[in-house]
Amino acid sequence: MALSIDPGILLIVVFFALIFLKVPIAISLGVSGMLLVYLQQLGTQMFAPVFFANISKFSLLAIPYFILAGVVMGKAKISDKLIHLISLLVGPVRGGLATVTVIAALFWGAVSGSGPATVAAIGTILIPGMIKAGYDRGFSAAIVSAASGLAIVIPPSIGYVVYGTITGASISKLFIGGIIPGIVVGICLIVAGYIISVIRDYRGEAWGTLSEVWRAFKEAIWAIISPLIILGGIYGGVFTPTEAAAVSIFYGLFVGFFIYKTLTLKDLYDLLVEASVSTAVVMLVVSFAGIFGWAMTTLGFVERVSQFAISLTSNQYILLFVINVILFIAGMLMDAISIYYITLPLLMPIMAYFNWDPVWFGVVMTINLAIGQITPPVAVNLYVGANIAKVSIDEISRNVIPFVAAAVIGLLIVMYVPIITTWLPSLMIH
């Protein structure tokens, strides 16, 4: 069946038309891909093989494991002890609780790997605490939501697993490469929170005495060493990222059952159900996105778009900036996993042409998509934060603007100073 319009463009038009009609993203990807395969007679018999081939990859096993690990750690109330320790150490400095929020999000990101889950884990403690200390509701929800976006930048990250699976980049190197950039963005958020706190005279809580800090440290040590075990094991070549995810599940169960005693056998069923539902949502997107990506490639759309982009400018820095603007806009409209599968087939030839380090680009892209979690309309972190703080999306959106600006500054630093990302992976044991 002949079509007068470029089939690749029609594929994109159909996809965004379905999104506009509020069809779920996974279904939009699948329907648009299947429709174009049918219209162009590319072989409908390929649907099933492509669908299953996209999810039957060993590296993707890490996704359900990390999701379950995050659910277990959250239910075990490990974040409570960690936040208490950080609060005692930061003390009554200006914007103390804002600083506590970002540091707690950095640590919890090394456990959870999910932005919304991090908002839920630390927000239920910090947002009421900040409001009680005199912080504005909108500000409290905004900084918790913004800082929680670091969860997909600080390893372990489901985003890095998906990116590495698509591009073939080392997931272990992506994990290690994300540490310093995550801290850089975190510092930018702390500075933004401090400036606003100085203007509004927001303060922290009292410093802890030595005995209080020591007691809190002993209680929080299990939360502190969790990322050290996971990342240390990967860095030292003891286990792969997928194996690390499995280790983190058993570590969380051990701490929850035997150390903090916050888990019971009755909780196991609910934990497994919650993790299974979250995994199913992710994998549905991955499988349908595979059909969409296969259709784009088979139609020759990937090659045409990448060649067009390269022909626009020979200046790689300008093109890099343009790509990140497009990713920023995409992050406002779609979830990160869908964006990886839609854009990476188009971007990989450009990366190869300019010889961009795939680990560096993966971290830059992930930071950009993390910002998408706090930029409406599809700002998943803001919805969770607004629900906890009992504020409207409009109010939290106004308060999050300075933190979006701060995160963008962090993104630009990481983007144009690649050694921030590439230094640690270069030290890895091969």
Q: Of 138, 88, 81, 128, which Cα lies nearest the Cα of 107?
A: 81
Tell me the pLDDT of the chain averaged across its residues. Answer: 86
What's the CA gap between 329 and 166, in Å, rounded?
21
Q: Which long-range contacts (CB under 8 A, 24 or more apart) does 310-319 make?
A: 310/349, 310/350, 310/353, 316/354, 316/356, 317/416, 319/350, 319/354
How far apart, in Å, are the Cα atoms of 153 and each of 129, 150, 402, 407?
26, 5, 19, 12
Helix (H) or strand (E) holding 57: none
Whether the pLDDT of residue 407 is over 70: the answer is yes
Residues 116-156 have pLDDT tens digits of: 888 888 888 888 888 888 889 999 999 999 999 998 899 88
pLDDT value, residue 110: 79
Residues 148-174 have pLDDT tens digits of: 999 889 988 889 999 999 999 999 899
Residues 198-235 have pLDDT tens digits of: 898 887 667 778 888 899 888 888 888 888 888 788 77
How crowded is residue 16: how many other Cβ atoms within 10 Å of its Cβ? Answer: 14
Query: pLDDT confidence of 4, banded at 50, 70, 90?
Result: low
pLDDT value, residue 11: 85
Residues 348-368 have pLDDT tens digits of: 999 999 999 999 999 999 999
289: CB partners within 8 A, 6+ apart: 26, 29, 54, 337, 338, 340, 341, 342
pTM of the model: 0.86
Query: pLDDT confidence of 429, banded at 50, 70, 90?
Result: low
What's the CA gap between 173 and 170, in Å, rounded?
5
- Across 58-85, average pLDDT: 82
Q: Of 32, 103, 114, which Cα lies nearest the Cα of 69?
A: 114
77: CB partners within 8 A, 6+ apart: 256, 260, 262
